[in-house]
Amino acid sequence: MSEAAAPIPFGINLGFCVKRWVSPELWTRVVRERLGLDLVQFSFDLVDPMWPDAVLERHAGAVRREAQASGITIHSAFIGLAHYTFNQLLHPDPAVRDYAEEWLGRAYRFAAMAGIPRVGGPLGAIASRLDGTEAEAIEPADYAELIARMHRLGARAGAEGLSELYVEPTPLRREWPWTIAQARQMMNDVAGSAVPWRLCPDWGHGTFEPLYGPGEGAMEPWFRELADVITAVHIQQTDFVLDRHWDFAVPGKVDPLEAAKLLRATGIAPAPVFLEVFYPFEHDDMSILKALEASSALLRQAFV
Amino acid sequence: MSEAAAPIPFGINLGFCVKRWVSPELWTRVVRERLGLDLVQFSFDLVDPMWPDAVLERHAGAVRREAQASGITIHSAFIGLAHYTFNQLLHPDPAVRDYAEEWLGRAYRFAAMAGIPRVGGPLGAIASRLDGTEAEAIEPADYAELIARMHRLGARAGAEGLSELYVEPTPLRREWPWTIAQARQMMNDVAGSAVPWRLCPDWGHGTFEPLYGPGEGAMEPWFRELADVITAVHIQQTDFVLDRHWDFAVPGKVDPLEAAKLLRATGIAPAPVFLEVFYPFEHDDMSILKALEASSALLRQAFV
């Protein structure tokens, strides 16, 4: 890569604010003043799309206003821990899948009102089996229904004026997609959606060795083979043993400089990268702020 | 304790089933056939009280039917990870607190329909401060409002025919109550509620050293000083460094035999104890089932 390579846009997913800096008056100042960032990915752990319309409208207005006032761009809004706890669009009960589809529709509406042009996250999980064995593939009927829902959701996002929807692949056989081939198939099957579906891979997902086996450069094939449909990336520090979502004050296997090099080499680079970290609820605020200040500085420098 | 001490009722919180064995057809068989247990605490990570009425009624019927058919008693239903992700009854926005109150009302209704007589969990969290310092106490106005909500919720639970409501103290300054004195004060302030409010302490909360300081027997004062208002207990394996919610296949500081002795010595013993464990979503099913089989056998033996 030449010295003149363009900087990689770097921001932070607001998952770290969960139950802490929950209002836009709080998180805009943490992001701007403490972390020195001006790009974020909003989290639906801060606003539940099922809140009543009037409450959502008020919160959307505050998010839009505070982000603008502090010079922060909100690239996208992503499903957080709360919604990910459920089986979403792959729950065994079709009525619960319908509820998850409605949840996403309301998420799109909130995003549009808040001035956030993109929405995404994982799609869902099938149930486990009694004997602990895990399916190699989702049932064809379930997959077909999922694709139909994604087309309907694309239309709904279009009606709300959004510009892009994301699937975040997760390292679980019960979720979908979890391989590069599945991700490619899905991208083919949702081509033509009213709003384009794209991928947002996560550094701690593709590198999860208990599922994919050992491989230091495990993100490389994802980026190389899916470069045309990847327009955002999650980064985290991790040990490849679990999907850690550590900050970069914790020692781990992800090297930010190598990460930047890989994003440039595979042509992902113009896409923004978001640090996504989660802390135990009982972790104290002060050490979180300090660790995030250090991590943001480190990553800002790597992605320059 | 004499050899003739009565057994301590032992069951499991269904938090381990989240996104895995989600239907009652699945979890009743895992609990009965794999873990050899007949007592559970239901988790609202398996059923979201905000699902439409018809869906809730159908799921409540299935829970009631399958539990009965498999000889499983459902002692109570507790808030899970999804709802705990939000600030609940202490969110900065009163309209969001109202939504959390409505959520609980619907949770009571679901429990009543499913034949579950008790509901509980943590109450809520205030927001964090910008500078990372943490309040020593909740604002008096917020506390008064919380108590008023708890009395309203008691009336609502009474109308649904429930017999008991629980507060689960958590080891966070931003949540409430987190000290023995606060818990006692709250129990005094909600005395006279249409349905009695009681406490369900958790072994990994009272022992959280970063908040309470070191102390090997840290659960003892909770049990001794609040024995009259404790009618259920959560147990987990933990290292006192974080609120781990490990199973007992993991080495840690909680000794099941010592735990049983303490519950008997402090007079808590007739109250049921529930193993509450959480696993990373990406953890494979097979190792979870094996670790839970071993943990259940160990604890069953300790509480005999």
pLDDT in tens, A62-117: 999 999 999 999 999 999 999 999 999 999 999 999 999 999 999 999 999 999 99
Single-letter residue type at B104: L
Type of residue numbered A105: G
Q: How far is B159 from chain A (nearest CA, A)?
A: 25
* Residue A17's pLDDT band (cuts 50, 70, 90): very high
- Phi first, then psi: give them for residue A128, nearest 5 degrees: -85, 165
Among chain B residues, the shortest Cα distance to A99 is held by B51
Q: Do A132 and B285 touch (CB under 8 A)?
A: yes
Mean pLDDT of the region A21-42: 98
B171–chain A nearest CA distance, Å: 6
Rounded to 5 degrees, what are φ and ψ at B105? -60, -45
Place of tokens 């836009």: A24
pTM, full prediction = 0.96
> Quick count: other Cβ atoms within 10 Å of Cβ A7?
11
User: Which of B26, B285, B287 has the highest number of chain A CBs within 10 A, making it the mutation to test binding with A?
Assistant: B285
State pLDDT tens for residues B62-77: 999 999 999 999 999 9
Q: Which residue has the higher pLDDT, A2 or B55?
A: B55
Under the banding of pLDDT at 50, 70 and 90, the label for residue B264 is: very high
Check whether B217 has a pLDDT greater than 80.
Answer: no
Domain range A3-303, CATH architecture: Alpha-Beta Barrel (3.20)
Per-residue pLDDT of A244-273, as tens digits, reads 999 999 999 999 999 999 999 999 999 999
Section A58-62 average pLDDT: 98
Is the link from the previous residue into A177 a cis peptide, with omega within 30 of 0? yes
Scanning every residue of chain B, which has its alpha carbon at the shortest distance from the alpha carbon of A204? B282
Concatenated DSSP letters for chain A? --TTPPPPPEEEEGGGGTTSS-SHHHHHHIIIIIS---EEEEETTTS-TTS-HHHHHHHHHHHHHHHHHTT-EEEEEE--HHHHTS-BTT-SSHHHHHHHHHHHHHHHHHHHHHT--EEEE--BBPPPPTTS---SS--HHHHHHHHHHHHHHHHHHHHHT--EEEE---S-TTBS--SHHHHHHHHHHTTT-SS-EEE--BTTTTT-HHHH---TTTHHHHHHHTGGGB--EEE-B--SSS---B-TTS--S--HHHHHHHHHHTT-TTS-EEE-----TTS-HHHHHHHHHHHHHHHHHHH-
Q: Do A130 and B86 touch (CB under 8 A)?
A: no
- The per-residue pLDDT of chain B, averaged, comes to 96
Domain spans, chain B: 3-303
Structure tokens at B140: 């008096």
Which chain A residues are closer than 8 Å to B294 by Cβ? none
- What's the pLDDT at B110? 98
**Cβ distance of B289 and A132 shorter than 8 Å:** yes
Contact B99 A48 (CB under 8 A): yes
In the prediction, which pLDDT does B4 show? Answer: 55
Contact list in A for residue B126 (CB cut-off 8 A) is none
Question: Mean pLDDT: which of A5-9, A136-140, B12-16 is highest?
Answer: B12-16
Residues of chain A contacting residue B210, judged by C-beta atoms under 8 Å apart: 282, 284
Query: How confident is the model at residue A4, as a pLDDT?
Result: 55
**A208/B282 CB distance under 8 A:** yes
Predicted local confidence at residue B1, as pLDDT: 45
Nearest-CB residue to A127 (from B21, B243, B290)? B21
Tell me which residue of A107, B287, B302, B265 sits closest to B275, measured CA to CA: B302
A5 pLDDT band (50/70/90 cuts)?
confident
Task: Provide the pLDDT for residue B2.
Answer: 46
Global ipTM:
0.95
d(CA B182, CA B116): 28
For tokens 């970069």, name the residue: A248
DSSP line for B248-292: TTS--S--HHHHHHHHHHTT-TTS-EEE-----TTS-HHHHHHHH
> In Å, how far are A246, B46, B251 from A204, measured between CA atoms?
9, 26, 26
> CA torsion B134→B140→B145→B147, rounded to 10°?
90
The answer on pLDDT for B3 being more than 70 is no
All residues of chain B having their beta carbon less than 8 Å from the beta carbon of residue A288 are 132
Q: Give the whole-angstrom CA distance, residue A90 versus residue A98.
A: 10
Q: What pLDDT is stored for residue B135 in this prediction?
A: 85
Residue with tokens 């089986």: A87
Tens digit of pLDDT for each residue in B78-121?
999 999 999 999 999 999 999 999 999 999 999 999 999 999 99
Q: How many CB pairs under 8 A join A and B?
A: 159
Is A244 within 8 Å of A252 (Cβ atoms)? Answer: yes
Kindly tell me if the per-residue pLDDT of B159 is higher than 80: yes
- Residue among A45, A281, A292 with most chain B CBs within 10 A, to mutate: A281
DSSP-assigned states of every residue in B164-229 = EEEE---S-TTBS--SHHHHHHHHHHTTT-SS-EEE--BTTTTT-HHHH---TTTHHHHHHHTGGG
Q: Any bridge partners for residue A175, and if so which?
A: A125
User: Is pLDDT above 90 for B138?
Assistant: no
Nearest to A21 among B81, B128, B134 (CB): B128
Residues of chain A with Cβ-Cβ distance to B170 below 8 Å are 281-282
Of the candidates B33, B55, B133, which has its C-beta nearest A96's C-beta?
A: B55
Inter-chain residue contact B87 with A22, CB threshold 8 Å: yes
Per-residue confidence band for A2, with pLDDT thresholds at 50, 70 and 90: very low
The pLDDT of residue A224:
97
Joined tokens for residue A44: 């639906």
* Average pLDDT over all residues of chain A: 96
Helices (H), A115-266: 140-160, 180-189, 209-212, 219-225, 256-265
